[in-house]
Amino acid sequence: MPEATSATHDSAPDTVLVVDFGAQYAQLIARRVREARVYSEIVPSTMPVAEMLAKSPKAIILSGGPSSVYEEGAPQLDGALFEAGVPVFGMCYGFQLMAVTLGGTVDNTGSREYGRTPLAVSKTGSTLFEGTPESQSVWMSHGDACSAAPEGFTVTASTDVVPVAAFENDEKKLYGVQYHPEVMHSTHGQQILEHFLYRGAGLSPTWTTGNIVEEQVAAIREQVGDKRAICGLSGGVDSAVAAALVQKAIGSQLTCVYVDHGLMRKGETEQVEKDFVAATGVQLKVVDAQERFLNALAGVSDPETKRKIIGREFIRVFEQAQAEIIAEGGPDVAFLVQGTLYPDVVESGGGTGTANIKSHHNVGGLPDDIEFELVEPLRQLFKDEVRMVGQELGLPAEIVQRQPFPGPGLGIRIVGEVTKERLDLLREADAIARHELTAAGLDREIWQCPVVLLADVRSVGVQGDGRTYGHPIVLRPVSSEDAMTADWTRMPYEVLARISTRITNEVPDVNRVVLDCTSKPPGTIEWE
């Protein structure tokens, strides 16, 4: 849910706050809570407790983190949180911080546990461990260890190294585990998390796609009022679902603008004009801005600069479209609808105090002098949740199940300067890869398969008995749940061979196809 929902709409969902102490798994915790059909939001550990409580959370989860609780400058937490009457669940670092703050003992013994670890449950009938086995495998990642629980807590589990691997205080509704229940390697982790949510915090699993649509429709109507909005359609899932959601809320007050910037994949424009309009009945305005974008990108190779240029030009084009729509009469166009997702916000350094990995054109790439107020109904959703909302809205599978495609388009899949010739070359290679993946039935197995042109790189090859000096094409097939983490997809060799053969045979100036087999982290899904 966007932040505006909880501030403006009385029927906002029960919220679980995930306090991020710098954990690599903070986003995963939030996802696991949502999988339990309870709404969650991530907040930074630097947020004052009073501000956390002002959000009226029904429960709070303290994430793990890389620090030692005794390390100078390590994240801390005001003990007032544990006296507020809100159920709290500490994981890993959050567990240790809870223990120390409430008077327990955490030792820096030098004994560490990393990876899969046997957990011995001593209280199988406890709130967290009810119905789980006495011995279970969990995922540990810690150096310090809790040797004594705070007064009033019951120790419920241990390991060979850690005498206090879990504790509970039902009276104060405070719970903690030393391990990471959110990762799949903890065999009963999701069950433990749900026990906290349902039994410890007394929450009900009521957050559904139907709720999302209902709440967002109400929030959008309240935000927009009787004014008009425009939405930039990119051909991707995110902008399509955002537009359909806003269309449901305000109907004819929305005009969708499709900017044909020349950075789209083959057949993209035709699909937007045909499929989306047919599915929603939305008013669509098509703007041909290919020359404008190419001129703005001329001579630019730096990826961050390209993203910011594309974001800037999008806004300028929308301002032109706004002027034309206003000239037609009616209320002012005051709002811009964007398909911003939660991973976009996190990677752009927003929301949790994280580092700026890259500026997404719709977050960090927007110009400072933007004249629109943003409507971002998907801002707090992960990609799979967006697809479910699209299905709830009745969008066709051809749109909802499309592979993710970045807003800056092929402009960030060309490593080097963007030119029309390079775009045409990459478009053909991408179309071949997409065709073969679909023919092999791999569209659902592969989350996304960026096809990248290394425009500033050339390699020697042999074609037609002659020497060539052409560009490499990179295939980047990945599997993921939400784009926060990803692994490269182990595609069948015969499919890779067909794609490679066709690209090198059919696309001029390409004499090599390579496979990117890097996970995220350390790499990102897109190259730029």
Active site residues: 92, 180, 182
- DSSP structure class, residue 391: H
Query: For residues 101 and 99, what is the distance between their CA atoms, to the nearest angstrom?
Result: 6
Q: Which run of H or E residues covers position 453?
A: strand 451-453
Q: Is 362 helix (H, G, I), strand (E, B) or coil?
A: coil
Peptide bond into 522 cis (omega under 30): yes
Q: Rounded to a whole number, what is the largest CA-CA distance in the chain?
A: 81
* Cα 362 to Cα 397: distance, rounded to the nearest angstrom: 25
Dihedral sign for Cα atoms in the order 189, 69, 168, 54: negative
DSSP state at residue 410: G
Q: Which helix (H) or strand (E) holds 35?
A: helix 26-35
Name which of 63, 160, 66 is nearest 117 in CA terms: 160
Angle between helical axes of 237-250 and 383-392 (0-180°, round to 10): 40
CB atoms under 10 Å from CB of 147, counted, come to 14
Cα–Cα distance, 19 to 37 (Å, whole number)? 19
Q: How far is 326 from 335, CA to CA, in rounded Å? A: 13
Backbone φ, ψ for residue 261 (5° rounding) = -90, 5
